[in-house]
Amino acid sequence: MFLLDTDICSEAVMGHPRVLERLGALDRDVWAISSLVYAELQFGLEKGKLTARSHTALEKFLRAAPLVPFDRGAAREAAMVRFELEEQGRPSGAVDQMIAGHARYLQATLVTGNAAHFQRVQGLVLENWREGQG
């Protein structure tokens, strides 16, 4: 399973060719977004700084994207990710820690263009569709 990070969802909405090609080649049941990513994207809608076209495209994407709820198991795994990163002396942003924990809990590949935010998380598989990796 592929779990898409916020930046990759944004790239899909904006029509990035590599991201769209990769996403289009997948069956709908092998990719999803976390409810955390949904919240971040919804925040972008609420901020209202999108063009009308981008706003419509993002709404359409959010309606179509399979959604995986952030549940108790994901919350436990996110707490472990936070603990591990703090033990390394290298904490990251709270939402990134939760997204990483969610992906690791699901044993999903996290698709992101921000590998630097996630590469210190042990056991997390990453792909970057924007750069053609994966």
Q: Which domains does the chain have, with CATH numbers?
A: 2-127 (3.40.50.1010)
d(CA 125, CA 80): 16
d(CA 81, CA 102): 10
Contacts of 106 (CB under 8 A, 6+ apart): 1, 3, 68, 74
Tell me the pTM. 0.92
Q: Could you read off the pLDDT of 18-50 as tens digits, one per residue?
A: 999 999 999 989 999 999 999 999 998 888 777
pLDDT for residue 132: 60
